[in-house]
Chains A and B, each alone.
Chain A
Amino acid sequence: MNQFIYKPGEHPDLPPPSNTVGPIAWVRANLLSSPTNIVLSVLSIWFLYEIIPATLEWAFLDAAFTGESRDECRAKAGGACWAFIGERFNLFTYGFYPADERWRIDLTFFLLCLALIPVLWDRCPLRKFGLYFACAFPFIAGWLLLGGFGLTPVDTDEFGGFMLTLVIGVTGISFSLPIGILLALGRQSNLPIVRVFSVGFIEFFRGVPLITLLFVASTMLNYFLPKGTTFDLLLRVLIMVTLFASAYMAEVIRGGLQALPRGQYEAADAMGLKYWTSMRLIILPQALKISIPGIVNTFIGLYKDTTLVIIIGLLDPLGVGRASLADTKWTGLSNEMYLFVAIFFFISCFGMSRYSLYLEKKLATGHER
């Protein structure tokens, strides 16, 4: 390239040298850039070579997909026995919900997906109506799942499996965000009472293990509440999980609020915006955007923590699985069960994580030119 001489101010933009772009350059830069990197690349490839074929063999090639019991599976193949999951699939999904009423869960799930579209996708057609529907959804879902008003009532004792996970997870997620926002703003408030209450609430719920709260919910509340009050166990769990997650959420959002330059607050004040208007239009949109990774982190944590309800006797997927393993027909298939539950949780959590990345990218304005 040096053979060309340009006059000052007339140097054109030239393409980069060919050995710095393209797939070979990528391999060289990312896999073979240094001796350590070469060793790590070779080790990783060897590790994948060892693990992938064996896993495929166990999970698919040498697996039994049909059969009436573990012994039948074993007779067919030496690998996984997916017949177990197949037979118990409805139990995993619906818990002990009456078989004739399971369409209500299917419908609720369908409506949940429908309600999520306008919430998660800002260019969805008729978004305004979609959001109204999303606000009405919790009431519709409650009616469909619990029954009454024309539907056969179903007791919450019969909730279980993935459906229970979704009920607790979705409720916790959708209530902990607004409560967390209010607590975070309360913690920064100029009003001492509001501030002390927020700090006390956050510190208490963050300082106590969730299991303790769940125990309190299941047993101790009976002592505090007036005799004879019945208070549904699932409802108590929902409240405890939500409050617990709200405390974490509040701290995540406080981080976002504090990361904003003071100038943003001052500019909003100087314009004469009222407190709630400036929070809604200026401070929170930015603070929440900064907090997205932390918020989603809290969501994912909450979602996985729903498995803790097993210790107070609610049957989440793990509870259903453990109960199923106790069946003499299917003993010893814990690998299959745990893998299946793990895949369910992984898909949900991975989905949330991907959505948060998409959101971060979409909301980026101008920091990357």
Chain B
Amino acid sequence: MNDTPENSNGNSEKEFVIVIRKMHKWYGQFHVLKDINLNVERGEKIVICGPSGSGKSTLIRCINRLEEHQDGEIIVDGTELTNDLKNVEVVRREVGMVFQHFNLFPHLTVLDNCTLAPIWVRKEPREQAEVTAMEYLERVKIPDQASKFPGQLSGGQQQRVAIARSLCMKPRVMLFDEPTSALDPEMIKEVLDVMIELATEGMTMLCVTHEMGFAKTVADRVIFMDEGEIIEQNKPQEFFDNPQHDRTKLFLSQILNH
């Protein structure tokens, strides 16, 4: 699956929401991402794991151009990410992102956080955007907090607002950058429940996470990264029961046996 034919034409790209070919990235002299090849099917759920500093966050941040890649190509829903700001805007409209630290806008109410992008990017009328926002807030089970400010909510509630905020843009792909790493144990579950529900509805998801339980139950594919390379990728069952690479075995033994 990670071998893309060189002569692939537009037809094969249509089956994949995200196509990454021979992508490299450097921070100055530091080679963070090395020869990344990754195709994501529509509706596929991918969990990316690996030790810290392995480049997993950088990889998904390249998909919506929060980070620039220097070599190779990234094509999201038929649009290639280049220096052309137009393309970047098109991609960002279709790709939602949830951050480790939520990054809600503290000066806006929960509802305004959710309606901002639909109003200003999608040019929806405010009334319609508010109706949509309330629907998604109901789905993440916090419609009663709509008029509060983010600072008045718990971490788990904030992260659920952040998910609802991304969903309001009706994205084709959702990126999750360690969505539960900054949460108290009690709150991790409420966020994971929302993510699982989203997954069962068929959303294409790329999650960087250390929640191996989530990976086992939800993922179609688990990708293991180390030192900027994709070391191994497989179905979760295979990945956890029968890891191929030594580095993967070491990583799994460290996170599972304690």
Task: Identify the A interface with B (CB < 8 A).
Answer: 261, 263-264, 266-267, 269-274, 277, 281-282, 285-286, 289, 363, 365-367, 369
Assuming the A-B contacts A264-B105, A266-B99, A267-B105, are A369 and B152 also in contact, with contact meaning beta carbons closer than 8 angstroms in the complex?
yes
Extra 8 A-B pairs, beta carbons < 8 Å, given A263-B101, A270-B95, A365-B149:
A270-B92, A271-B169, A272-B169, A281-B116, A286-B107, A366-B151, A367-B106, A369-B151
Q: Contact at A366–B106, with CB atoms within 8 Å? A: yes
Q: Is B121 a contact partner of A366 (Cβ separation < 8 A)?
A: no
8 pairs of A and B residues whose beta carbons are closest in the complex:
A366-B151, A272-B92, A267-B103, A263-B103, A366-B149, A271-B117, A365-B149, A270-B97
| Chain A residues, CB < 8 A from B150 | 366
Between A and B, 25 residue pairs with Cβ closer than 8 Å are A263-B99, A263-B103, A264-B103, A270-B64, A270-B66, A270-B96, A271-B117, A271-B121, A271-B169, A272-B89, A272-B121, A273-B117, A273-B120, A277-B120, A282-B105, A286-B105, A286-B106, A286-B107, A289-B107, A365-B106, A365-B151, A366-B148, A366-B150, A367-B106, A369-B152
Expressed in whole angstroms, the Cα–Cα distance for A272 and B117 within the complex equals 8
Q: How far is the CA of A289 from the CA of B151 in the complex (A)?
A: 16
Determine whether the beta carbon of B105 is less than 8 Å from that of A274. no
Residue of A at shortest CB range from B116?
A281
Name the A residues within 8 Å of B151 (CB-CB).
Answer: 365-367, 369
Residue among B92, B95, B102, B106 having the largest count of chain A Cβ atoms under 10 Å: B106
Binary contact track B87-118/A, C-beta < 8 Å → 1, others 0:
00100110111010111111100000000110
B66-87 near A? 1/0 per residue, CB < 8 Å: 1000000000000000000000
**How far is it, in angstroms, between the C-alpha of A273 and the C-alpha of B121 when the chains are bound?**
6
**Complex CA distance for A277 and B96, rounded to whole angstroms:** 18
Contacts of B169 in A (CB 8 A): 271-272
Closest approach, in angstroms, between the C-beta of A253 and any C-beta of chain B?
Answer: 16
Residue of A nearest to B109 (CB): A365
Chain B interface mostly helix, strand, loop or mixed? loop
A281 neighbours in B (Cβ, 8 Å): 116, 120
Secondary structure dominating the interface of A: helix
For chain B, give the interface size range: 20 to 34
B89 x A274 contact (CB < 8 A):
yes
Question: With A and B bound together, what is the CA distance between A267 and B102 in angstroms?
Answer: 9
User: How far, in whole Å, are A274 and B96 apart by their CA atoms in the complex?
Assistant: 16
Given contacts A266-B99, A366-B152, contact A271 B107 (CB under 8 A): no
B residues less than 8 Å from A271 (CB atoms): 92, 116-117, 121, 169
- Complex CA–CA separation, A194 to B151 (angstroms): 36
The closest CB in chain A to the CB of B64 belongs to: A270
Contacts of B152 in A (CB 8 A): 366, 369
Given contacts A366-B149, A366-B150, contact A269 B106 (CB under 8 A): no
Closest to A278 in B: B120
State A261–B104 Cα separation when bound (angstroms). Answer: 11
Closest to B93 in A: A272
Cβ < 8 Å to A, chain B residues 47-80: 64-66
CA distance A72 to B23 in the complex (A): 92
C-alpha spacing A266/B64, complex, angstroms: 10
Bound together, the chains give a CA A365 to CA B105 distance in angstroms of: 11
Question: For A285, what are the chain B residues with a Cβ–Cβ distance below 8 Å?
Answer: 107
Q: How far is the CA of A289 from the CA of B92 in the complex (A)?
A: 28
By beta carbon, the residue of chain A nearest B175 is: A270
| Distance, CA A266 to CA B149, complexed state (A) | 20
CA separation between A269 and B64, bound complex, in Å?
9
CA distance A270 to B97 in the complex (A): 7
Tell me which residues across on chain A come within 8 A of B93, comparing CB atoms.
272
What's the minimum C-beta distance from B218 to chain A, rounded to whole angstroms? 22
Interface centre among B65, B105, B121, B152 (most CB of A within 10 A): B105
Give the Cβ gap from B233 to chain A, nearest Cβ, in Å.
25
- Contact check: which of A263, A269, A282 meets B92 at CB < 8 Å? A269
CB-nearest residue of chain B relative to A283?
B105
A286: chain B residues at CB < 8 Å are 105-107
Which A residues are in CB contact (< 8 Å) with B121?
Answer: 271-273
Partner of A267, one of B99, B107, B148: B99
> B79 CB to closest chain A CB, in angstroms?
12
Q: A266 — nearest CB in chain B belongs to which residue? A: B66
Q: Which residue of B lies closest to A275 (CB)?
A: B85
**Bound Cα distance from A289 to B106, whole angstroms:** 12
Min distance, Cβ A91 to any Cβ of chain B, angstroms: 47
Quote the shortest CB–CB distance from B122 to chain A (angstroms).
9
Interfacial residues of chain B within 16-55, with CB under 8 A of chain A in the complex: none
Shortest distance in angstroms between A267's beta carbon and chain B's nearest beta carbon?
4
> With A266-B99, A271-B117 in contact, is A365–B107 under 8 Å at CB?
yes
In the complex with contacts A365-B149, A366-B151, A269-B103 CB distance below 8 A: no
CA distance A324 to B106 in the complex (A): 54
